[in-house]
Amino acid sequence: MAIENILMPQLGESVTEGTIEKWLVKPGDTVNKYDPLAEVNTDKVNAEIPSSFSGTIKELVAQEGETLDVGSIVCVIETEEASSDASEPQIAASPAKPEPANEMPAEGSLQPTSPIKQDKGESGRYSPAVLRLSQENNIDLSLVEGSGRGGRITRKDLLAIIESGEMPKAAPVQEEATSKQTPTPTPTKSEPVQQPKTEVPVMAGDIEIPVTGVRRAIANNMLRSKHEAPHAWMTVEVDVTNLVAYRDSLKDEFKQKEGFNLTYFAFFVKAVSQALKEFPMMNSMWAGDKIIQKKDINISIAVATEDSLFVPVINHADEKTIKGIGRDIQELATKVRTGKLKSSEMQGGTFTVNNTGSFGSVQSMGIINYPQAAILQVESIVKRPVIMNGGMIAARDMVNLCLSLDHRVLDGLVCGRFLARVKEILENVSAENTSIY
């Protein structure tokens, strides 16, 4: 018999940790290779951890709701293979990389602002994401109480501190005197104050709703986006009277022929994908020391359920017809609402279009779908009186397009031109100019 460890897998690009949402097995259960062991969620995807071996579950190391770094042990399996090891499992996390106790981190490194205490066990080891957040926000990790295994500090702990705005700072460090004749005076150290956790009073009649894994993942990604990306906003008003008339003239025949509805949203996604080809900077992402301009135009669309929001992706949207985009929208939305959407179908998006108009919204400011550089909110189409050329007033079908942008990547000039181009495409939709096939 042999003892094998199952580790937290990396479930997406740049994912550094995951949360065990629900165990699907218990100690003593027999599993086959590739059988699902647990449901896990990250700030990018929800997925299952498969078994890497066939055998018997010996121990569930991680608890439900616990967040672990990628590569951490989540459970132990006893396999049929012969092993020279002792019959009892020897479980040990990878040792932390040793650091000189008195060495100060180099400027710009991902080390925390104060030396790491090595006598803290699990709580003295930090993931790259935790180190980066602590460095960017000058958080003294020695003052943070971790919620992970063995008191380990997780990225979720730091995001909660950043959101509260009450960040424990590193105490001033005494510098060595550079000259014996002019010694540097010793700075006065201030006593650090541990900030209390925010408590919400629960009164009689209040309803406590547990935070699901999906809701937690949404919250984490939205918080990261608002924290890291400096948001700016632009809005344009578009006259889609001709688009509405054209779509309404086709919808019944289209539904009978194709088997699904021809929606306004398909026209908007097509217009955006066309404009992205002409303004490729809009199809970019921030990568720290560089900006990545993506070659493929993959449109993320927001699809809501009763308690969650999923963002599946229409790949190569610029290469598809309005009919093809409409079919993708219908199929992806159906998968979301029937629970059949795969995590791979939510990856690779380069720009998000959100149909907020389906809820009756007329103006909104979306949070960017990190790490993308922009999100476009398509609002409700409403009839409004509009002053036409010659001073005549007419009832027209109008819609607002609201763009949220990452100001590290994009500036007003390119965004204004992009929105103007989307507006031009939509206002010129007609039987003569536009084919849905």
**Reported pTM:** 0.59
Lowest mean pLDDT among 49-58, 155-164, 204-213, 338-347: 155-164
Q: Would you list the DSSP string of 242-306?
A: HHHHHHHHHHHHHHHHHSS---HHHHHHHHHHHHHHH-GGGGEEE-SSSEEE-SS--EEE-EE-S
Distant-in-sequence, close-in-space partners of 330: CB < 8 Å, separation ≥ 6 = 260, 261
**Would you say 380 and 401 are in contact if contact means Cβ atoms under 8 Å apart?**
no
The domains of the chain are located at 2-79, 230-427
Residue 148 near residue 93 (C-beta atoms within 8 A): no
Give the pLDDT confidence score for residue 256 in this predicted structure: 95
* Neighbouring residues of 263: CB distance < 8 A, sequence distance ≥ 6: 326, 329
Q: Which pLDDT band holds residue 95 (cuts at 50, 70, 90)?
A: very low
| 282 and 264 Cβ atoms separated by less than 8 Å | no
User: Is residue 401 predicted with pLDDT exceeding 60?
Assistant: yes
Range of 105-109, 302-306, 399-403 with top mean pLDDT: 399-403
User: CA–CA separation, 351 vs 345, rounded Å?
Assistant: 15
What mean pLDDT comes out for the span 18-25?
A: 89
Q: What pLDDT is attached to residue 121? A: 41
Query: What is the reported pLDDT for 366?
Result: 93
pLDDT more than 90, % of the chain: 47
Q: Which positions are annotated as active-site residues?
A: 407, 411
The answer to whether the 2-79 and 230-427 domains have the same CATH topology is: no
Cα gap 308→341, rounded to integer Å: 13
Looking at per-residue pLDDT, the higher value among 320 and 160 belongs to 320
Compute, in degrees rounded to 10, the torsion defined by CA atoms 368, 374, 375, 377. Answer: 120
State mean pLDDT over 91-116.
38
Q: How many residues does the chain have?
A: 437
Given 1.10.3430.10, 3.20.20.105, 2.40.50.100, 2.60.40.1260, which CATH number is that of 2-79? Answer: 2.40.50.100
Query: What tens digit of pLDDT does each residue of 206-244 get?
Result: 998 887 776 777 788 788 888 888 999 999 999 999 999
Residue 299 pLDDT grade (very low, low, confident, very high; cuts 50, 70, 90): very high
230-427 domain in CATH 3.40.640.10?
no
Query: Closest Cα to residue 327, out of 254, 247, 260, 251?
Result: 260
Residue 84 has pLDDT above 70, yes or no: no
CA pair distance 80, 286, nearest whole angstrom: 48
- Average pLDDT, stretch 184-188? 42
Helices (H), 67-212: 128-137, 155-164
What pLDDT score does 126 carry?
65
